[in-house]
Amino acid sequence: MENTTINGYKLKYKLGEGGMAEVWYAENYLQKPAAVKVLQKRFCGMPEVVSRFENEARLMVHLNHPHIRNIYDYSTVDGCPCMIMEYLEGKDLSQRMKEGMHFSNRQLITWWNDLVDALQYTHRKNIIHRDIKPSNLFLTEDGKIKILDFGIAKLRDNVTVTQTGSRMGTLMYMSPEQVYDVKTLSYKTDIYSLAVTFYHLVSGVAPYDASKISDFEIQENIVRRHIDTTVLPDPWKGLLPLYLGKNPEDRKELRRIDADITKSDETIVFTPVPPQPIETIYPPLSTHPAQKTGSNRFGYIFLVFLIVTGLIVFALNKDGILSMFGVNQDANKPVAEKPVPKPRVKKQPQPVPSEDLKTDTVDARNDTMTSTQVVTSEDLGQKEAEIRNRINDYYRMRQDCGSLSRFFRDTVQQYYNRSDELLTRIQKECAAYHGKWRFTEADINSSSYVFTYNPNGNTYVDFSMLYKIKQNEADDWIPYNIDVSVVFDQQMKIVRIVERRIEKL
């Protein structure tokens, strides 16, 4: 592909490669630089992926804003679609944070104001980005911030790309509605994601620790728990909560920050608090006139002289002075006691571990702590096999809506995107669903199972499956790749079930 010319731009060398596309450095006849984004060959035969790529080009070509990466043209190369874009030198904010870059309060306020302008501009055009996060915010070498990657953006009135219900975006920065209701997204989802992104930039800490909690628990936190912004400095402590409401209607419209709201340019990210100088810890000496007189100063000096002289005289004549007062120093010495020997404790032999008591240590997490459970390999294997069978039975028998009581209690804590759902309502919904989709199959990838054991007895299970549906026996199957999270209680009842990702094939 090197030296290929596309719409007047010659490809010079590859700049990088992502999950879906390659990016090449190119120049035109006048040596104007450009970045050419080319869809990877393996995706060029997938209509849905090509459509998503074309969607990005179609949206970006209508955008002309100083803080949004510009697109110049759209074409194809070797049978694959490509975009000719503005060439940027610099790094995204995610890379900058990984490298330990310090962001000053003044920088952050400037970036916030620029991004507010950019998003208000796109929202006026009814374009929703849907994936605002640090890695999609690019900081150029001259200090300008730009929004990248409109690949999963959508027009508010165009649901072509989203009608399958696919959950697109990066989980850590998703809005609650992206987790549970992707079909009815509004521009308020960008507002929430921008606020979460700046929480990370300002505090230096991601809102959720993905190394300690599962994706399922992160989703739970996004939907149910408010981010604590009280740890942030001003003006962020009072500003970001306006945009972090769980209900989109509770989020305020984005507004700029007064650039003069902070007088200092203090670095507030990844910066330790400097130690306080010693001289400022103690209060200064009083400057009252009475304490400055010469007579008072002479009196203090004479008093100190008398005390020091007395101590020296006492040290030189200690024995004589003590005997004058009848004090016998030897009488005050403690009498040495012979140590009483301790009785020997007979050493008990250590028990020999039985070969039948082999154990596995399993890390189990709950919402507030990490604990360690010890379970036998045999019990663990039996439990996991039982859960696998339970899941297979659930998907095999889903069409028999009356049998759902085998798998659920009368009230389910979370049933997909709803909380505290009554079993009777689930059964009615089941009957309506399978009245339309009369044929379903679930092919679960057995190697995808991940089990997490909670000290309260619940078991978290994550797995992936190929799920197929059709209305009539003669119809072609409609396939979906789905990632599922299920929580079983100790009685093997499903207390929570959610679909974390749905991708129509």
Q: Out of 134-138, 192-196, 323-327, which region has the weakest mean confidence (pLDDT)?
A: 323-327
Which secondary-structure segment (H or E) carries 84? Answer: strand 80-86
**What kind of fold does domain 359-504 have according to CATH?**
Nuclear Transport Factor 2; Chain: A, (3.10.450)
**Distance between start and end Cα atoms, the chain:** 29
Query: What is the mean pLDDT of the segment spanning 465-477?
Result: 86
The per-residue pLDDT for 9 is: 95
* pLDDT > 90 fraction of the chain, expressed in percent and rounded: 32
SS3 355: helix
Looking at the annotation, which residues are catalytic? 141
Q: Which CATH number fits domain 89-273: 1.10.3720.10, 3.40.50.300, 3.40.50.720, 1.10.510.10?
A: 1.10.510.10
Q: What sections of 240-359 are H helices per DSSP? A: 294-316, 318-324
CA distance 486 to 460: 6
Whole-angstrom CA distances from 294 to 174, 200, 212, 287, 306 are: 73, 61, 68, 14, 19
| Residues 45-79: tens digit of each pLDDT | 888 788 878 887 887 888 899 999 999 999 999 88
Distance CA 183, CA 159 (A): 8
Tokens of 187: 């521009």
pLDDT in tens, 215-261: 777 888 898 889 999 999 999 999 999 999 999 999 999 999 986 65
pLDDT tens-digit series, residues 4-36: 999 999 999 999 887 778 999 999 999 999 999
Q: How many helices (H) and strands (E) would you count in the chain? A: 11, 20
- Please give the CATH number for the structural domain made up of 1-87: 3.30.200.20
Residue boundaries of the structural domains of the chain: 1-87, 89-273, 359-504
| Euclidean distance between CA atoms 224 and 263, whole angstroms | 37
CB distance 94 to 134 below 8 Å: yes
Does residue 347 have a known ligand-binding role?
no
Q: Characterize the bridge pairing of strands 450-453 and 5-6.
A: unpaired
The whole-angstrom separation of Cα 118 and Cα 221 is 29
